[in-house]
Amino acid sequence: MLSFVIRRLAVAIPTLLILVVLSFILMYAAPGGPFNSERPLPPEVLANIEAKYGLDQPFWRQIVNYVVSVVTQFDFGPSFQYKDRSVNDVIAQGFPVTLTYGFWSFVVAVTVGVSLGVAAAIKQNSWIDYFAVGVSIGAQVLPNFVMAPILLLIFTLWLGWLPGGGWNGGQWQFLIMPVIALSTSYMASIARITRSSMLEVLNTNFIRTAIAKGLPMRRVIWRHAMKPTILPVLSYLGPAFVGMITGSVIIDVFFSTGGIGQFFVNSAFNRDYSVIMGITILVGTLTILFNLVVDILYAWIDPKIRY
Amino acid sequence: MLPNRAAVEGAADQMALAEVKGRSLWADARIRFFRNRAAVISLIMLGLVAAFALFGGMLAQYEPDFVNFSLIGSNAYLGVPSIETGHYFGTDSNGRDLFARTVMGTGISLMVGVVGALVAVIVGTLYGATAGYYGGRVDGAMMRIVDVLMSIPFMFVLILMLVIFGRSIFMLFLGIGLISWLDMARIARGQTLTIKNKEFVEVAVATGVRPSKIILRHIVPNLLGIVIVYATLLVPNMIIFESFISFLGLGVQEPATSLGALINEGSRTMQFGFMWQISFPLFFFVVTIFAFFFVGDGLRDALDPKDR
C-alpha cells in the first residue's frame, strides 16, 4: 500500500510542476506586459516597476524564481491589478467562500445521488425508480449555467423566498441556490451510476447466496452490495470534483458570492496574469490531490486492485 | 433408408431462408436502434434543429447583426415576439432580431460540438489504438500523458489561454480540441487491447503487415461502433463546454453568438420580464442536448457489444 501511495505521488508531483511551468510559459508568451496601458508610462518609470516585479530579468531566472517561491513558500507574487494586495490575499479572501459552498455541493451531490440511485435499484420499476431515472435524465441537460438563472427566476423573482445573490458570511439563505445550482447535474450523474452499478451487483452470485441464506435485505445491501456498488461512483468523483470547481466560476459570477471564481473572471478581463496563474495553480493542485485521495481510497476498497 | 425427400427439401429451403435473413452487425444495430422510440424521436428532433440552424436564416426577416435603433429602450412592448413585426422570437436588448440570432447561435453551438467530436474521433482513436496496440512501455508512457492531462482543470487553462492569446473562435476550437480526445483515447485503447489478440490481427502480423497498417486497416474499423457511440455522447458535452465559456463572455465574440452567450444575455434581462430572451435560446439548448444524449444512448444500446 505504501509503495502504491509513493508511486502515485511520484506522478502527482511532476504533474503539478508541469502545470506551474506551463502556465508560466503561457503568461510569458503573452503579447504586451501588464503595465502597457493606453497612456504609456515614461520608460524610466516602466523600468522601475518592471524591476520591482522582477520582469527585467531573463526568462529562465524569472521562471526559476516563480517556481521556487510557489513551491517553497506558496507565494504567488503580487497582483498586477490590485496594487495593494498580493495574489495570496486575493485567494485568502475568496477561497473560504468557494470551499464552503463547494463542500456542501459535494456533500449534497454524493449523499442525495447515492441514496437516490440505491433506492431506485432496490425498488426497480417502481415509482421511485422512475422518479430517479427521470430526475437524472432531466438534470443532465441542466448544467450550472442553466440551473442558476432558472433558480433565480423561481425563488427570487417569482416566489421571493431567497436573496438573489451575495454571501453575507455564508448564511444558509445565501447558500441554498449556489449549492443546488452547482450540485444538480453531478447529483444526477451519481444517481445514474449508482443505480446501474447496484443493479449489476444485485444480480451477482454472492448477493444471491447472501439472500438465500436468509440475511435480512438491509444487511445484504449495506454489508455486501454497497462496497462493489460504490467503486464506479468513486472513480466518477474525480471528474465531478473538476466539474464542480470549474462550475464555481459560474456560481460566483451569477450569485456574486465572492469566491475565487469571481476574481478569476475579473482578472481574465483585466489581464491580471499573476492572479489567473495563482488560481489556476491552486485549482490544479486541489484537483491533483483530490484524484490522489480517490485513487488511494479506490485501492483500499477494491481488493482486486494490485499495487 | 433415406429420409423423406420433401422433408430434406423443406430443411434446405429453411436454411436458404435463414441465409437470406442473416443480418450483418450494422443491420442488426440499425434494427435495434429504430426499435428505441426515444432515440428515433430524438433523431428527428435533431434533424429539425439542424434544419433550423441551416435554413432558419431564410425565414428570418432580419440579419442577425442588424440593430433596430428604434426598438432600443422600448423592448417591453415593441420587441415582444410577434408574427406581424417579423420578429418571431422578439428582439434582444440591443434591438436585434432574436430569431436570426438564435438561428446563428444554434449553428455555432452545433458546429463547436461536431468539431470537438471530430477531433476526438480522429486524434483520440488513433492515439488510443496506437497505445493499445504497442502495449508495454509505449502504452504506459502514452497513457500516463493522458492521465496527467486529465487531472489538469482544463477550463482554467483554456481561459488563461483565451486571455493571453486573445478571444477568438479559433482559440476556442483549439482549446476544445485539446481536451476532447482524452476520454476517447482511453476508450479506444481499452477496446484495442481486446481486439489485438484476435486471430485476424495475428494473421496480419504473421503475414508481415506493417504495424501502422494493422492499426489503420484492421483495428480502427473494429473500433468504429464504440467510437461512434462516444462521439455522439461527446457532442452535447462540447456544446455545454462552449456555452460555459460563452456564458462567461469569454467564448464566441460579438456580433457572432452561440446558445451559451444568448442564455447569458437572456438571464440578465429576465428580471425585467423579457422572458422570451432567455426561453427561446434555452429551449433550443435543452432540446439539442436532450436529443444528443438520447441518440447516443440509443446508439450505445444498439452498438455496444457489452450491453447485449
Domains of chain A with CATH codes? 95-261 (1.10.3720.10)
Spatial distance between the Cα atoms of A264 and A302, rounded to a whole number of angstroms: 38
Helix/strand/coil for B93: coil
Q: Which of B280, B232, B250 is nearest to B105 (CA)?
A: B280
pLDDT at B221 over 60: yes
Size of interface A-B (CB pairs under 8 A): 102
pLDDT at B51 over 90: no
Say if residues B234 and B226 touch (Cβ distance below 8 Å). no
Side chain identity, residue A131 = F
Do A264 and B278 lie within an 8 Å CB cutoff? no
pLDDT above 90 covers a percentage of chain A that reads 3
Say if residues B23 and B31 touch (Cβ distance below 8 Å). yes
Question: Is ipTM over 0.85?
Answer: no
Spatial distance between the Cα atoms of B226 and A11, rounded to a whole number of angstroms: 30
Chain B residue with minimal CA distance to A142? B286
Q: Which of B159, B236, B260 sits opposite A268 (nearest CB)?
A: B159
Which residue has better confidence, B10 or A136?
A136
Mean pLDDT in residue range A212-218:
87
The region of weakest confidence among A240-249, A275-284, B18-27, B209-218 is B18-27
Residue B204 region by backbone torsions, left for phi larger than 0, else alpha for psi between -120 and 50, else beta? alpha
Q: How far does A225 lie from chain B, in Å, by closest CA?
A: 21
- What is residue B1's predicted lDDT score, i.e. its pLDDT? 45
Beta bridge partners of A162: none
Q: Which of B142, B176, B144 is nearest to B158 (CA)?
A: B176
For the record, the C-alpha cell of A146 comes out as: 442553466
Most confident of A62-66, A193-197, A263-267, B223-227: A193-197
Q: Catalogue the long-range contacts made by A81-86 (C-beta closer than 8 Å, 24 or more residues apart).
A: A81/A34, A81/A267, A81/A270, A81/A272, A81/A275, A82/A272, A82/A275
Say if residues B54 and B83 touch (Cβ distance below 8 Å). no
Banded pLDDT at B76 (limits 50, 70, 90):
low
Spatial distance between the Cα atoms of B101 and B60, rounded to a whole number of angstroms: 9
Banded pLDDT at B307 (limits 50, 70, 90):
very low
Mean pLDDT in residue range A82-95:
79
For the record, the C-alpha cell of B235 comes out as: 457532442
Do A30 and B248 lie within an 8 Å CB cutoff? no
**Chain centroid offset of residue A150 CA:** 22
Do A145 and B144 lie within an 8 Å CB cutoff? no
Banded pLDDT at A38 (limits 50, 70, 90):
low
The CATH class for the domain spanning B25-303 reads mainly alpha
Q: Which of A94, A79, A112 is nearest to A248 (CA)?
A: A94
For the record, the C-alpha cell of A189 comes out as: 450523474
Q: Among all chains, which residue has been given the C-alpha cell 438520447? A: B294
Spatial distance between the Cα atoms of B234 and B296, rounded to a whole number of angstroms: 9
Chain A residue with minimal CA distance to B156? A280
Instruction: Please write the tens of the pLDDT for every residue from A132-155.
Output: 888 887 887 788 888 888 888 888
Q: How far does A131 lie from chain B, in Å, by closest CA?
A: 17
Q: Which of A143, A268, A287 sits opposite B153 (nearest CB)?
A: A287
Omega into A303 within 30° of 0, i.e. cis?
no
Q: Which of A140, A152, A265 sits opposite B293 (nearest CB)?
A: A140
Q: Among all chains, which residue has been given the C-alpha cell 471528474? A: A239
